[in-house]
Structure 1
Amino acid sequence: MDQVSDEQCSEAAALLKAHGSERKAARAGGVPRSTFKHRLKRAAERGMLGFKPVLPGFELKRSSAQLDDSGNVQKEWVTQHKESGPAFAMPAGQVLKGVSAFVDGEGRIRHQWIKTRTDSAAPELIGALKAEFEAYRGRARIVPPPKRVERDLMTVYPIADPHIGMLSWRPQTGADYDLKIATERMLDCASAIVAKADRSRAATIVNLGDWYHANDQRNVTPKSKHQLDVDGRWFKVQRAGVQVFRSIIDMALAKHEAVEVVNIPGNHDPEAGAALALALAGFYERNRRVHIAFPADLYYRRFGATLFGAAHGDKLSPARMAMAMAVDQREAWGATAYHWFMFGHIHKDRLDTIGDVRVESFSTIADKDNHAAGGGWRSAQALQAVTLHKRDGELGRQRVNIPPPSMR
């Protein structure tokens, strides 16, 4: 509510008339200039400054004049309205929801209303996961390091699109898939692939995105708003995803001396994937053998003679992945003999060679949802491990296949 009284407004009008300028009038009145200007605007709104153009706090809307036969001004009319406020800035955490407009008979805009909404459920998501793991911060069980490792080797575990929390119904899609199946299958496959992997000193677990099927409890893809079939409450799914990833990290720690964890945001889970990385970073913050990388759209790592990168695959074509690596990693690019780029998103194994860059996508362990089943997308399902040699590049691979639904 405006607290400027009529007496203060009248005094401001009189001081301005007596002294001629706002600065002198404010000094004479013994008030800061900003206070005086505010009182002057209120005086103008209440008609205490007359109607000379242009009043403080107002701006010219329209000006008309009546001329005599000689072209001399006889009368003038000036229409003023309150001046515009500052430029609109989108509030933090808000995105544009829509714009409404009032138009005249010719379709021209007279007024507009900007409607915003909360950007996403990311603050609530991150807050919930932080609260869940606050009691366990830095208390990860210390897995003893392996007694024997090959110091010139690194094992890379690409995990593409497990879509934890997705619901698929066999009569409709040809296979059942839910939260229980997803977590059990991921743990079984991870256990098998880690057991098969070489005893590399270092390991990099690369979540290539879409770890979660849904980003939040609205159960739609954030960008395109496609409706998603989900299993279980939102927080239950998020917690299950973190627990599964912790188990995979612990498996890797039993086999490898140092483990780096990479979480690439997917088109299904951009904020949920970032919150996953946050929860894991808090859990393992006192374990010097684990490094949780910052969750970003692009990831690069050099290991000896090999430079490799990773992305989800929804924003870059294979050719642009190769180009981005060459530009972003100029020094490492020139110092390495082998270049490799991983991505997910398309749910199948595919290899392209762009120059000397092997650009490769990986299969998912997830079954098809209703959209994929109806669209005819089909692919094998598997989890892989790729071993790199510090000098010789890729040394070998291990693979755990998931049989098709008819043979399970």
Structure 2
Amino acid sequence: MTELTEAQLRRVAEAKTEHGSDRAAAKALGMPRDTFRYQIKRAAEKGFLGYKPVLPGFEVKETSVQRDAAGNTQKEWVKQHRESGPAFAMPEGQKLKELSAFVNGEGRIRHQWIKTKEDVTKSDLVAALTGVFERYKGRARVVPAPRRIERNLLSVYPIADPHIGMLSWKPQTGADYDLRIATRRLLDKAGEIVAKAPRSREALIANLGDWYHANDQRNVTPKSKHQLDVDGRWFKVLEAGVEVFVRIIDLALAKHELVEVVTIPGNHDPEAACALALALKMFYARNKRVTIAFPADIYYRRFGATLLGCAHGDKAPPARLAMAMAVDQRKAWGETAYHWLLYGHIHKDKLDTIGDVRVESFSTIADKDNHAAGGAWRSAQALQVITLDKKTGPDSRDFVNIPPPDMR
């Protein structure tokens, strides 16, 4: 902005003295009120309004009063300085490198010394994912549709918290777990559970969150910033997670005519889960037998007499999830006899009944990390398939168990 001349500053100061209010002074000078306010603050800084409190653009710092014996004011001193600026906000696309700040008692900035640098994590992520997605686009191989199917059945494959990319060391946690173990175990057990499922016409693969152990290459939980033990570079983990999911979908396509995939963001992988869903959507872009659902925090699906929902479970307790289903799906709720909500997060099989809603959590295939081992969290490990009948609701259930570490 061009520096104001002394004549301009004197002019706005005289208008302020003559007209009193900013509105009247600005009108008399024929300038916008915001322009006048800016100029009158600069005039105050230069002393054109004298030194009586409180000048435009200034605030009182300190006052002192001298009184006589009768309590009458003899002298008065007022110290004022430029008003504090707004609360500091990090500029978009930057992250903090160094910061020193001097603030007043209300936490408002008086002076600050800030060094920022470009947040390359996001830009690197976008560039890397764009390359990965372009390579995947429309590359899904054609899997022949099964010839014999049960048209009135839907098989649901809940996959909770596999934490792909987690690193666990047996001497510390009781079992080794890394990228190779996670992907191999998940694919092996998925093959076994798909083989056990009936030939339902439809299948739902429900990733209930925390597919990935880490959300990005910083290797901390996004909200709490807990340090994570991670195996391998993050883009390597991201790609491995996409590839194993693709192979699981292909297994389901060989058994079921239509396959829907929902990916729920977890507390470990809120953005990575969205990247996973986008990669899968690109990969199966030309396959009409596969539907990749939008990666929302809560997902709903109606199948005949059953209304089901999916969530990760970190944002709401079971009772609130059941209530959300009733409110969000009023019409489907009233038209269905069976209500079922699936979630993960707690790494164990647990069933609550809220009214007539079955609110069910599922165990993980992952072994414990150091945090879980030290906190004495223990549970069985398994994959399940639950099959629904259009008329009678939940119809059958099969398990594939993972033996404890000392029995493998």
TM-score normalised to structure 1 length:
0.83
Give the SS at the match of 2:315: coil
Question: What is the identity, as a one-letter code, of the residue corresponding to 2:312?
Answer: H
Q: After superposition, where does 1:134-145 map in structure 2 within 5 Å?
A: 134-145=134-145
Q: In 1, distance between residues paired with 2:100 and 2:327?
A: 39
Residue of structure 1 in register with 2:356 after alignment: 356
C-alpha spacing 1:322/1:139, structure 2 compared with 1 (3 Å): same
Q: Displacement, 1:116? A: 12
Query: Greater CA deviation, 234-243 or 264-273?
Result: 264-273
Cα contact 2:151–2:201 (8 A) shared by 1? yes
1:203-256 Cα distance to aligned partner (Å, 9 max, x none): 111011111111222222233333322111111101111111122222222322
Q: After superposition, where does 1:87-166 map in structure 2 within 5 Å?
A: 124-166=124-166
Structure 2 residue 186 is matched with structure 1 residue 197: no
C-alpha spacing 1:119/1:312, structure 2 compared with 1 (3 Å): farther
Q: In 2, distance between residues paired with 1:27 and 1:223?
A: 51
1:252-295 Cα distance to aligned partner (Å, 9 max, x none): 22322222211112222222222222222233334333222222
Give the SS at the match of 1:156: strand
Cα contact 2:87–2:108 (8 A) shared by 1? no
Cα contact 1:130–1:279 (8 A) shared by 2? no
Q: In 1, distance between residues paired with 2:215 and 2:238?
A: 9
Question: What is the identity, as a one-letter code, of the residue corresponding to 1:263?
Answer: T
Cα contact 1:125–1:275 (8 A) shared by 2? no
Q: Displacement, 1:384? A: 1.3
Residue of structure 1 in register with 2:281 after alignment: 281
C-alpha spacing 1:381/1:7, structure 2 compared with 1 (3 Å): same
Cα contact 2:208–2:343 (8 A) shared by 1? yes
Structure 2: gaps (5+ residues): none
Q: In 1, distance between residues paired with 2:254 and 2:64?
A: 85
Percentage of pairs with the same residue? 69
Cα contact 1:214–1:269 (8 A) shared by 2? yes
Question: What is the identity, as a one-letter code, of the residue corresponding to 1:238?
Answer: L
Structure 2 residue 322 is matched with structure 1 residue 322: yes
C-alpha spacing 1:342/1:83, structure 2 compared with 1 (3 Å): same
Q: After superposition, where does 1:252-331 map in structure 2 within 5 Å?
A: 252-331=252-331
Question: What is the identity, as a one-letter code, of the residue corresponding to 1:406?
Answer: D
Query: Greater CA deviation, 76-85 or 184-193?
Result: 76-85
Q: Displacement, 1:310? A: 1.8
Query: Greater CA deviation, 186-195 or 8-17?
Result: 8-17
Cα contact 2:298–2:309 (8 A) shared by 1? yes
Structure 1: gaps (5+ residues): none
Query: Greater CA deviation, 5-14 or 267-276?
Result: 5-14
Q: In 2, distance between residues paired with 1:372 and 1:284?
A: 36
Q: In 1, distance between residues paired with 2:291 and 2:233?
A: 30
Q: Displacement, 1:394? A: 1.2
Q: Displacement, 1:407? A: 3.7
Cα contact 1:94–1:116 (8 A) shared by 2? no
Question: What is the identity, as a one-letter code, of the residue corresponding to 2:357?
Answer: V
Q: In 2, distance between residues paired with 1:134 and 1:156?
A: 30
Q: In 1, distance between residues paired with 2:258 and 2:6?
A: 74
Give the SS at the match of 2:136: coil
Cα contact 2:87–2:109 (8 A) shared by 1? no
C-alpha spacing 1:196/1:120, structure 2 compared with 1 (3 Å): farther
Aligned residue pairs total 404
C-alpha spacing 1:275/1:70, structure 2 compared with 1 (3 Å): same
Residue of structure 2 in register with 1:369 after alignment: 369
Residue of structure 2 in register with 1:40 after alignment: 40
Residue of structure 2 in register with 1:236 after alignment: 236
Give the SS at the match of 1:300: strand
Q: Displacement, 1:60? A: 4.7
Q: In 2, distance between residues paired with 1:346 and 1:70?
A: 74
Question: What is the identity, as a one-letter code, of the residue corresponding to 1:346?
Answer: I
Q: Displacement, 1:20? A: 6.8
Q: In 2, distance between residues paired with 1:38 and 1:98?
A: 28
Cα contact 1:122–1:271 (8 A) shared by 2? no
Residue of structure 2 in register with 1:338 after alignment: 338
Give the SS at the match of 2:228: coil
Q: In 2, distance between residues paired with 1:20 and 1:183?
A: 75
Q: In 2, distance between residues paired with 1:9 and 1:102?
A: 30
Q: Displacement, 1:125? A: 3.6
Q: Displacement, 1:315? A: 3.3
Q: Displacement, 1:196? A: 2.4
Question: What is the identity, as a one-letter code, of the residue corresponding to 1:256?
Answer: H
- Indicate the RMSD between aligned Cα atoms, in angstroms: 3.7
Give the SS at the match of 2:262: strand
Q: In 2, distance between residues paired with 1:359 and 1:24?
A: 65
Question: What is the identity, as a one-letter code, of the residue corresponding to 1:210?
Answer: D
C-alpha spacing 1:244/1:36, structure 2 compared with 1 (3 Å): same
Give the SS at the match of 1:155: strand
C-alpha spacing 1:122/1:397, structure 2 compared with 1 (3 Å): farther
Q: Displacement, 1:367? A: 1.8
C-alpha spacing 1:63/1:334, structure 2 compared with 1 (3 Å): same
Q: After superposition, where does 1:372-391 map in structure 2 within 5 Å?
A: 372-391=372-391
Give the SS at the match of 2:273: helix
Question: What is the identity, as a one-letter code, of the residue corresponding to 1:167?
Answer: L
1:313-345 Cα distance to aligned partner (Å, 9 max, x none): 233333333333233333322221112221222
Question: What is the identity, as a one-letter code, of the residue corresponding to 2:290?
Answer: V
Q: In 2, distance between residues paired with 1:19 and 1:316?
A: 59
C-alpha spacing 1:249/1:38, structure 2 compared with 1 (3 Å): same
Cα contact 1:99–1:112 (8 A) shared by 2? no
Residue of structure 1 in register with 2:181 after alignment: 181
